Amino acid sequence: MCHGAGLRNPTLSDLVREVEFVDAHGELRTVSDPALLKTAAGSFGSFGIVTAYTLRLDKMTYADMRPHHAPVELAIPPPLEYILEAKAGNPKFRYIKELIAPHSQETLDAAYKEFVRQAENDYYAEWFWFPGQRDIWVNTWNNDGLESLSRNIPSDFEAFLEWLEEWIAEEVCNWAVFQLLPGESQAKILGFLTLLQMPNIKPGDPSRTSKPLRSRLTGLVTTELINGLHFRRGIQNLQCCSMHWEIGIPAQSSNAAKRQSLPPPATGVARSRSKRMHRKRFSLGKSSVPEIPADLPEPQNAPGDLVETGEYKVRRDWSTVQKAWWDGILATHAQPSILRLAQEMRIMSESNIGMAPQRGHTLGNCSIEVLTTLNTPREEWQKFCQKMTDTWLAYRDPTTGAKLSCRPHWCKQWSFLKIDNDGERIGIIEWMRKVAYKDAIPEFVEGVRKIGEGAGFTLDECKARFGNDLVDSLVWGGPVVQTGVPPEEPSRVIINRFKRWLKRLFH
């Protein structure tokens, strides 16, 4: 159920058309019923060992890629709320004030419009911030390139450079002396060198064809879409710690737009799932027309497409996305030793897979991730992750005031987190059962039961053959076992203790 990028693109699991698996009796089975695939395509191995997926792919198209560096305050401008706070002198936003000081409001507005244009219209949309850097790397593109101009990327030489850079980075990270450096220094060195190595196609770059090797590798690239789908080959092999949240993008709310877009009191039977979900989101019980908070700032003069949700048209509230991005940057700025690799963000579509974290995010999904090296002291990293989780999960729908739907990426770090639930701090698995996947889990279990009915195995047999702590507690209703994290490498523990001793000695 991994994220993709681009508002039209769902998860990889949404492309699955058939699942082949070994069931609890050791028999080979397949599932291709679309209703059952919502369970089978994202199942944590709970009912069998998957041996093959069949995916439905689009016809090949060609990506016109023009990745570039852009100033951090313009690539994704801070939300208006934060700009106003910064101008009012709020010390929490002093960094934003410094960044936006040279720019006029027109420049910031134009930057915001460009960001929204990229997020809403580009086929693929991702942004990277490397710690301590003034620029971010923007990689949004469309798949309307010409086949005649397409070239295979990376070329052999580019693949070699990517491998070499990754090898050097890994060796640097594993050096005892580099590990002895203050975390902030490690972050800045890695961030500086990484950003340098990312392509930067400047406006007006005339080339649309592959250049001779001796020139800079910054030419505009047209390539088969599949080559453009991840920003860098092999980077997933650089060991890191990572936390990643999927945040549902809410609808924009304005005094005028609210009156237009709010539904009448819910009556009758919903005609479609989207309408039912819209009514569910906007209905508040006795009164379906919420009061407009008096102190709610007017939204920025926002572009963005009108999106139909049932009977009403709304615009996406991109300020939530801006806040998520900038809260990460501000948290890192306040604690510069903690994030040593990158903050990444992608905009993508919702998912129809039952247990996908993007499920139900009808207007789109903000996938935001923070990554650091294994040299970051584990306890500090977990505290930072908890802090960011608390921040991102506190966002509210601008219209209803309800908390936004947010769920962690299954394959990243989340098991140690605690979530604030109605004033009570509970473990994340308990929160998933009670809140985040409250409806999805019973649907999932029913889906597995139906798959088993067709294949000749029972739920108990699945539990007996393929369970573990996570699956038992999350899906099968077993006791919640808060999974701990194994101890850090002894050498890193020694180095971190030595650094703390040095710090005490000299401060």
- Residue 211 in the binding site for another protein (CB under 8 A): no
Question: Among 149, 161, 266, 292, which residue interacts with another protein (rule: CB under 8 A)?
Answer: 161
At closest approach, how far in Å is the CB of 363 from another protein? 27
Question: Among 36, 107, 117, 178, which residue interacts with another protein (rule: CB under 8 A)?
Answer: 178
Which of 35, 168 has the CB closer to another protein?
168
Which of 81, 158 has the CB closer to another protein?
158
Q: Which of these segments, 64-72, 234-242, 253-261, 288-296, binds another protein (CB under 8 A)? A: 234-242
Question: How would you write 450-496 as a 3-class SS string?
Answer: HHHHHHCCCHHHHHHHHCCHHHHHHCCCCCCCCCCCCCCCHHHHHHH
As given in the structure block, the two tokens for residue 396 are: 């509210």
Which of 245, 326 has the CB closer to another protein?
245
Which of 144, 170 has the CB closer to another protein?
170
Q: Which of the residues 293 through 352 are near another protein (CB under 8 A)?
A: none
At closest approach, how far in Å is the CB of 324 from another protein? 20
C-alpha span between 46 and 28 (Å, rounded): 15
Q: Which of these segments, 87-95, 191-199, 296-304, 392-400, binds another protein (CB under 8 A)? A: 191-199
C-alpha span between 255 and 238 (Å, rounded): 48
- Residue 74 in the binding site for another protein (CB under 8 A): no
Which of 249, 495 has the CB closer to another protein?
495
Q: Which of the residues 30 through 59 are near another protein (CB under 8 A)?
A: 44-45, 49, 51
At closest approach, how far in Å is the CB of 117 from another protein? 28
Which of 199, 228 has the CB closer to another protein?
199
Q: Which of these segments, 110-118, 136-144, 232-240, 283-291, binds another protein (CB under 8 A)? A: 232-240
Question: Given its phi and psi angles, is residue 423 left (phi above 0), alpha (psi -120 to 50 degrees) or beta?
Answer: left
Q: How far is CA 270 from CA 120, 248, 266, 400, in A?
A: 28, 22, 9, 20
- Going by the DSSP 8-state scheme, the letter that residue 44 receives in this structure is T
Beta bridge partners of 52: 20
Give 99-137 as a DSSP string. Answer: HHTTS-HHHHHHHHHHHHHHHHH-SEEEEEE-TT-SEEE
At closest approach, how far in Å is the CB of 47 from another protein? 12
Q: How far is CA 42 from CA 104, 245, 380, 390, 462, in A?
A: 47, 17, 32, 26, 15
Q: Which of these segments, 207-215, 338-346, 385-393, 397-405, binds another protein (CB under 8 A)? A: 207-215
As given in the structure block, the two tokens for residue 321 are: 């996305």
C-alpha span between 111 and 119 (Å, rounded): 12
Q: Which of the residues 439 through 478 are near another protein (CB under 8 A)?
A: 463-472, 478
Question: Among 61, 121, 283, 413, which residue interacts with another protein (rule: CB under 8 A)?
Answer: 413
Question: 């410094």: which residue's tokens?
Answer: 98
**DSSP-derived 3-state class of residue 360:** coil
Q: Which of the residues 472 through 501 are near another protein (CB under 8 A)?
A: 472, 478-479, 483, 485-486, 488-489, 491, 494
C-alpha span between 320 and 367 (Å, rounded): 12
Residue 505: CA count within 13 A, CB half-sphere: 6
Question: Among 99, 217, 307, 353, which residue interacts with another protein (rule: CB under 8 A)?
Answer: 217
At closest approach, how far in Å is the CB of 431 from another protein? 15
Residues 47 and 448: beta-carbon distance below 8 Å: yes
Which of 206, 479 has the CB closer to another protein?
479
> Across 365-443, where does the E strand assignment appear?
365-372, 406-408, 418-421, 424-427
- Residue 241 in the binding site for another protein (CB under 8 A): yes
Question: Among 12, 15, 110, 240, which residue interacts with another protein (rule: CB under 8 A)?
Answer: 240
